């Protein structure tokens, strides 16, 4: 199957909304909204965050289909995107006439590729398919999809497509689920967290879950191995390749409960009570990271994104609407950072 050229759809995402784009030289400052969650009314905050971007019709202009990509790394509600955030975006999109789906390729789950204290890598569909269904079931996404009447897409397996990434850092072409190439807009809905490889895991890092396990192995072992040859983190450069291979045009960060310290699964929780949204993935992540107390230069993914020609390069280039950045900022406990080569020998090194 010949690769699908990135240029066929790279600039069709809603990243062009609000007069900005995550790729190439922006025509004006990208817009990012910060909204406080009041009285635990998460849905209302999500709606307000979208309204501050120009409203759902503006965000979806010229689009007919959307895939929502939550962060369901592990079947633990303390470390994953809250269903209420995804539910609200889906309702907004459906009211705007959009066809909606929800897709994920989770990293691990007990009794599948997490056995005792060992985390295994695997390409076996007979392990990955029931594992993904288990994660959907445990986190309430199976019931959510039924209530919304939208399909759940297991991004680990199924019909795949090769997408060319000109100027790639790691993968000149990436293999992704064909559903991602056929949707008009990809919306990343991460939980706000720290990460021991990537420093933070936000909208762009969330696309590591788009690397299918049947190709790149569960816990993305093969992806990490190849990426570590050009990037010590074993992940940041691959994040940017995958962002460039997809139509990521909306990021809505779930900062209701966030995770600091040794994320993405073992850190303590922080009640941040914020929603951060934007149509420029890099700008949105930079603002969310700043809320966590990180300077852009501290996050390797941002540096690789700038090398790829993505903008902005500084917070001063971003228009922030809603809550002022300074008033919503809370410095997070820093993660213990590792280079991939230093943890490969004891985490995800065994294959089943």
pLDDT band at 181 (very low <50, low <70, confident <90, very high): very high
In the chain, % of residues over pLDDT 70: 92
**8 pLDDT exceeds 60?**
no
pLDDT at position 15, please? 38
Q: Domain for residue 289, yes or no?
A: yes
CATH of the domain at 51: 3.40.50.11440
Q: What is the mean pLDDT of residues 107-132?
A: 96
Q: Domain for residue 350, yes or no?
A: no
Domain count, the chain: 1
pLDDT at position 60, please? 96
Q: Express each pLDDT in 288-330 by its tens digit.
A: 999 999 999 999 999 999 999 999 999 999 999 999 999 999 9
Q: Express each pLDDT in 131-168 by its tens digit.
A: 999 999 999 999 999 999 999 999 999 999 999 999 99
Q: Domain for residue 349, yes or no?
A: no
Three-state SS sequence of the chain: CCCECHHHCCCCCHHHHHHCCCECCCCCCCEEEEEECCCCCHHHHHHHHHHHCCCHHHHCCCCCEEEEEECCCCCCHHHCCCHHHHHHHHHHHHHCCCEEEEEECCCCCECCCEECCEECECCCHHHHHHHHHHHHHHCCHHHHHHHHCCCEEECCCCCEEEEECCCCCCCCEEEEEHHHHHCCEEEEECEEEEECCCEEECCCHHHHHHCCHHHHCHHHHHHHHHHCCCCCCCCHHHHHHHHHCCCEEEEEEEEEEEECCCCCCCCCEEEEEEEEEECCHHHHHHHHHHHCCCCHHHCHHHHHHHHCCECCCCHHHCEEEECCHHHHCCCCCCCCCCCHHHHCCCCCCCEC
Range of the domain at 315: 6-343
Q: Domain for residue 109, yes or no?
A: yes
Q: Domain for residue 86, yes or no?
A: yes
In the chain, % of residues over pLDDT 90: 91
Q: Domain for residue 1, yes or no?
A: no
Q: Domain for residue 157, yes or no?
A: yes
Q: Express each pLDDT in 185-220 by its tens digit.
A: 999 999 999 999 999 999 999 999 999 999 999 999
Q: Domain for residue 100, yes or no?
A: yes
Q: Which of 26-40, 63-77, 269-283 is predicted with the least confidence, judged by mean pLDDT?
A: 26-40
Considering the entire predicted model, what is its pTM?
0.92
Q: Express each pLDDT in 9-18 by its tens digit.
A: 333 333 333 3
Q: Choose between 126 and 15: higher pLDDT.
A: 126
Q: What is the mean pLDDT of residues 225-247?
A: 98
**7 pLDDT exceeds 60?**
no
């Amino acid at each position: 199957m010949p690769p699908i050229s990135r240029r066929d759809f790279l600039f069709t995402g809603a990243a062009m909304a609000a007069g900005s784009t995550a790729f190439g030289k922006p025509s004006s400052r990208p817009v990012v909204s910060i909204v406080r969650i009041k009285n635990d009314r998460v849905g209302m905050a999500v709606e307000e965050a979208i309204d501050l971007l120009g409203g759902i019709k503006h965000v979806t202009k010229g689009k007919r289909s959307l895939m929502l990509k939550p962060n369901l790394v592990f079947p633990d509600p303390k470390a994953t995107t809250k269903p209420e955030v995804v539910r609200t975006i889906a309702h907004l999109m459906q009211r705007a006439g959009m066809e909606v789906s929800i897709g994920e390729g989770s990293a691990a789950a007990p009794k599948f590729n997490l056995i005792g204290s060992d985390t295994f890598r695997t390409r076996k569909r007979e392990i990955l398919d029931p594992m993904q269904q288990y994660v959907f079931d445990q986190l309430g996404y199976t019931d959510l999809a039924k209530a919304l009447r939208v399909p759940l897409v297991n991004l680990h397996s199924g019909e795949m497509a090769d997408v060319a990434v000109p100027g790639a850092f790691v993968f000149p072409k990436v293999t992704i689920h064909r559903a991602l190439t056929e949707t008009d807009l990809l919306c990343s809905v991460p939980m706000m967290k720290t990460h021991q490889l990537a420093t933070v895991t936000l909208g762009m890092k969330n696309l590591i879950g788009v690397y299918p396990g049947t190709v790149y192995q569960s816990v993305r072992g093969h992806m990490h191995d190849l990426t570590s040859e050009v990037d010590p983190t074993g992940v940041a450069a691959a994040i940017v390749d995958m962002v460039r291979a997809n139509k990521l045009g909306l990021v809505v960060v779930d900062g209701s409960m966030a995770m600091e310290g040794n994320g993405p699964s073992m850190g303590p929780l922080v009640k941040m009570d914020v929603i951060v949204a934007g149509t420029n993935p890099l700008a949105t992540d930079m603002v969310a990271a700043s809320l966590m107390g990180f300077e852009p230069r501290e996050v390797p993914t941002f540096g690789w994104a700038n090398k790829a020609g993505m903008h902005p390069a500084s917070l001063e280039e971003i228009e922030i609407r809603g809550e002022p950045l300074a008033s919503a900022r809370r410095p997070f406990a820093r993660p213990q950072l590792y280079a991939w080569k230093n943890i490969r020998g004891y985490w995800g090194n065994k294959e089943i």
